[in-house]
Amino acid sequence: MSNMIQFVANHDDLSTDKGFQFKFYCDKCHNGHMSRFQINKMGMATSLLNAAGSLFGGMFHDAGNAAYQMQRAVGGPAHDEALKSAVLEGKQFFKQCTRCGHWVCPDVCWNGKAGLCEDCAPDEHEELASQQAQAAREQIYTKTRAQDYTQDLDFIGRGSISQCKNCQAKLGPDQKFCPTCGTPNVTAQVKDKFCADCGTSVKADQKFCAGCGKQQ
């Protein structure tokens, strides 16, 4: 039974009382193959007897239990033989790396030139492309962080987020009225004015410029 030990780490047992079936996986990419279904004759007989027992009861039900006990007695060797056969069938779809012992699929995870799996001997072109992409990603990260994206922001004069005093909706700096409830936005309406002649700051209620006397 040494053949099945090679696949202990990378197979799923899908066997039922109806028969035996196994899935074998590549140790690297985890893709795989499913063995052909092998009928468990004793299990089929047990199912038939149990079905008869559920219909007629009594004698057939007892016979079903007896057959189930018999199936348990012979199920071990039958299962082992099915697994052994499935292993022989599945081995043709995998190659074993002599360096790490893993079983891998030959089309994707096997380096034919090196005679090893690609975990132990990566494909040169694939590895180069991967390292180039990783280096580009790291360079983008470094150069992006070196740029100043805040040079046009006013960190000292920036005010808090403006909200409508009536409904607390968010207001833009140029919105004179709340778009939700129509309440006037005092912050946007009260802005500094300047004299058109001399440029002196003029308050909203000033009728004449304090710098040159021009009527506003």
DSSP letters, 146-181, are HS-S-TT--TTT--PPPB-TTT--B--TT-SB-TTT
CB 21 within 8 A of CB 34: yes
Task: Supply the range of the domain harboring residue 211.
Answer: 162-216
Q: Which two tokens stand for residue 192?
A: 């500094």
The last residue of a domain, from among 59, 92, 117: 117
- Same structural domain, 170 and 95: no
What is the predicted pLDDT for the residue at 99? 96
Query: Where in the chain does DSSP place strands (E)?
Result: 11-13, 19-20, 22-25, 32-34, 38-39, 95-96, 103-104, 110-111, 116-117, 193-194, 201-202
- Same structural domain, 112 and 167: no
The last residue of a domain, from among 117, 135, 151: 117
The last residue of a domain, from among 117, 137, 172: 117
Separation CA 138–CA 27 (nearest Å): 30
- Same structural domain, 101 and 177: no
- Same structural domain, 105 and 174: no
- What type of residue is 131? Q
Q: Residue 76: how many CB atoms within 10 A of its CB?
A: 9
In a domain, 179, yes or no: yes
Separation CA 11–CA 57 (nearest Å): 39
How far from each other are the two terminal CA atoms of the chain, in whole angstroms?
104
- Same structural domain, 172 and 106: no
| Nearest alpha carbon to residue 13 among 76, 106, 105, 92 | 76
Q: Which two tokens stand for residue 163?
A: 């909200």
How many domains would you assign to the chain?
A: 2
What is the predicted pLDDT for the residue at 61? 44
Separation CA 102–CA 21 (nearest Å): 22
Q: Which two tokens stand for residue 143?
A: 């150069």
In a domain, 127, yes or no: no
Query: For residue 3, what is the DSSP state?
Result: H
What is the predicted pLDDT for the residue at 1? 44
Is the pTM here over 0.85, yes or no? no
Going residue by residue through the chain, which has 216 residues, state the pLDDT in tens, using 9 for 90 and above: 444 445 556 888 888 878 888 999 999 999 989 888 888 875 544 444 444 444 444 444 454 455 554 444 345 778 888 888 888 888 889 999 999 999 999 999 999 999 999 999 999 999 999 999 999 999 999 999 999 988 887 777 655 678 888 999 988 877 888 999 999 887 765 556 788 888 888 777 788 888 888 887
What is the predicted pLDDT for the residue at 159? 58
In a domain, 128, yes or no: no
